[in-house]
Amino acid sequence: MNWTLLCLLAASLLGFAPVPFMLGSTMRYLCDLTPCLMIVASVGFWQRARDTAGRAGSRRMFGGIAGTLAAWSIIVGMLLSVTGYYQHFFHFHRHLFGRISYWAHEFGE
């Protein structure tokens, strides 16, 4: 198991290492990094959940923290996907974009 995780971490590092040094690199290169790290994170979650199996309080707290972080990741991902490089959503759905912007502004206050 450790060898597999080490290989996955090395693959993610080798896939992402050149990106910071490239002029004009874009966020699409994160797709090379994400799959390996998702597997490593899933294995880490599984191992931690297994370690807390005997303690109900610790397991509940770990599940709550993991669920909160997963929900936060989903929300941030959805918010970041509203616009992109060429702002297609803004140009093709101005009315809906305006309603979302107004809602987000009111929610933030």
Q: What is the pLDDT of residues 38-85, one digit of tens each?
A: 888 899 899 999 999 889 888 999 999 999 999 998 888 887 777 776
30's tokens? 């994160």
| Tens digits of residue pLDDT in 5-32 | 899 889 888 888 887 787 766 666 777 7
Q: How far lies 50's CA from each of 45, 47, 53, in Å?
A: 9, 5, 5
Task: Please state the domain extents for the chain.
Answer: 1-51
Q: Which amino acid, one-letter code, is at 20?
A: P
4's tokens? 């597999």
Model pTM score: 0.63
d(Cα 65, Cα 72) in Å, to the nearest integer? 10
State residue 27's pLDDT score: 66
Task: Pick 59 or 88 by higher pLDDT.
Answer: 59
